[in-house]
Amino acid sequence: MTTIKNAMRTTLVVLTLLCLPPVALAQGWETVDFYIAEDITGIDFLGPDTAFLVTSGGTIARTFDAGVTWQARVLEADIPLEDIEFADSNHGFVCGRNGRFFMSNDGGLTWQNYSLGDTTDWLLSIEMIDARTGVMVGMKRKEFNLPEGYTLRTTNGGRSWDEQKSRGAGYGELFNLDNRILYFPSYGRLQGSLDQGKTWSDTKIDLPKPGREVAIMDRTGLLVGNLGLCAYSTDAGLTWTEVTLDTQAHLTSVLLLTPQVGCIAGHEGVIMFTRDGGKTWERDAVDKMFDIYDLVEVGDWLYAVGSEGNIIRKRIRQ
């Protein structure tokens, strides 16, 4: 999840994109076997072959051979975990419902429980700037009120968190741009921070449905959400244009592979690609019908994970 704002970083990104092989989308999807039939809610890769995932049943699993084999353990039974993030090869972080938060300082070999005291909180998304600085977003239910979104920030590696002022409801996934700029959608707005989550401002987005996730690269932005919401931006998220898709499925995930080529995915096995920065979309054929909860690009591959332990991947670069 990233985009850039100083000349040196922009130059480096442009050079990197020029050095990458072109994106090729013609190949089909292949299945990666996973033996636990729980919803996979988040996945993070430390390299082409090493990945960790979390599930709705409180399980964390790891692979060192790109999914050929998996080792799994339960962090806390029947407590849904929502997201996993590694700041580096040693420091891992997991958040979930009921205020659950876990940390590892040894590359995921062991995990320590640093859960919040309030077990009504749902911690939905985490992004670590480095091993000490990070942001979580989630929601909490105040007495007799609807759930309220809230943001937490740590500067000591997750051992304690400072709660920030609520900025509304309906918080979506965090997007980390260049380890400096952070975004997440909320009801009717796009929240943004230019200082690693210390302070936040918002931009009104006139879209009729709740947003779930955003991606920005250079000047191109993509945003997806509930009931088939899809929109694109040509000014790095300042303004948005809604696109009508042939689905009303909840869209949960979005990735930009280049400023022009992107992918969105969601419930009912929906996967679509754009080649023009989000203006038009084409469905991709998927043999397995399952709800997709996360997309991740690693090396030459694009992975999609979701309900009932399903994992598929597609080679996107030759």
3-class secondary-structure state, position 154: strand
pLDDT (tens digit per residue) in 133-150: 999 999 987 665 667 888
Give dist(CA 174, CA 2) in Å, integer. 10
pLDDT (tens digit per residue) in 73-115: 999 999 999 999 999 999 999 999 999 999 999 999 999 999 9
Give percent of the chain with pLDDT exceeding 90. 79
Give dist(CA 143, CA 138) in Å, integer. 17
Q: Which helix (H) or strand (E) segment is 17 a member of?
A: helix 7-19
Mean pLDDT, residues 232-241 taken together: 96
pLDDT at 5 over 60: no
- pTM equals 0.90
What pLDDT is recorded for position 3? Answer: 33
Q: How confident is the model at residue 20 (pLDDT cuts 50, 70, 90)?
A: low
Give dist(CA 198, CA 290) in Å, integer. 38
pLDDT (tens digit per residue) in 186-208: 988 999 999 999 999 999 998 88
What pLDDT is recorded for position 21? Answer: 60
Torsion angle of C-alpha atoms 125, 129, 134, 138, degrees rounded to 10? -20
pLDDT at 26 over 90: no
Q: How many CA atoms lie within 13 A of 313 on its CB side?
A: 19
Structure tokens, 254:
């979005």
What pLDDT is recorded for position 4? Answer: 30
pLDDT at 116 over 80: yes
Q: Residues in the chain, how many?
A: 318
Q: Which helix (H) or strand (E) segment is 83 a member of?
A: strand 81-86
What pLDDT is recorded for position 6? Answer: 36
Give dist(CA 258, CA 262) in Å, integer. 7
Between residues 12 and 141, which one has the greater pLDDT? Answer: 141
Alpha helix ranges (H) inside 136-187? none
pLDDT at 13 over 60: no
pLDDT at 266 over 80: yes
Mean pLDDT of the chain: 90
Q: Which helix (H) or strand (E) segment is 181 a member of?
A: strand 181-186
What pLDDT is recorded for position 16? Answer: 43
